Amino acid sequence: MNSIQLQDYIRDIPDFPKPGILFKDITPLLADSAAFEAAIDQMAAHYEGKQIDVIVAAEARGFIFAAPLALKLGVGFVPVRKPGKLPFSTHSFSYELEYGTDTLEMHIDGVAEGQNVLLVDDLLATGGTIKACANLVEKIGATVTGCCFLIELKFLDGAAKVAPHECFSLIEY
């Protein structure tokens, strides 16, 4: 298992979704059960023994890593979604994008005040998405224990935006 190099399963897609963007495609990793399992195992190993009550992740690719990690750590998983997608009453949080704003929602009973929350996503770029999730969790009075990613684009320095919360990633570019 240790011989698996996770970065071998990430495919570069030039000019997606816009010209000039080099998109990191995670689907080859997802398609290989040994590589996918190795990624989840490495994430779980990092948080073993840490106080985590619940995992929160934003749609859509965050869900893919959050759900198996939650099972492995023996905690629940709470989805964060775009407006209008969740059926029950929600907390919502708007955040700045490069151009305009976006809003995320979470069920009001998803995370309780005082809980320790691990945030999960497939990739950390500018940090905007994970920072919005952190703000949503903190608005409820819960604590962000850490932020876990498969991939971190170090040159965009998203971790600085998320500080002082710890960012942990398995692959760095």
Binding site for ligand 5GP (CB under 6 A): 23-24, 26, 61-62, 121-129, 158
Smaller CB distance to ligand 5GP: residue 49 or 164?
A: 164
61 carries an active-site annotation: yes
Smaller CB distance to ligand 5GP: residue 82 or 139?
A: 82
Smaller CB distance to ligand 5GP: residue 125 or 142?
A: 125
Nearest 5°: the CA angle 126, 99, 133 is 45
Q: How far is the CB of 8 from ligand 5GP (least distance, A)?
A: 16
Nearest C-alpha neighbor of 169 from the set 18, 6, 28: 6
Please spell the DSSP secondary structure of 78-143, one letter per residue. EEEBSTT--SS-EEEEEEE-SSSEEEEEEETTTS-TT-EEEEEEEEESSSHHHHHHHHHHHHTT-E
113 carries an active-site annotation: no
The active-site residue out of 11, 37, 59, 61 is: 61
The active-site residue out of 37, 59, 96, 98 is: 98
Q: Which residues are catalytic?
A: 61, 98
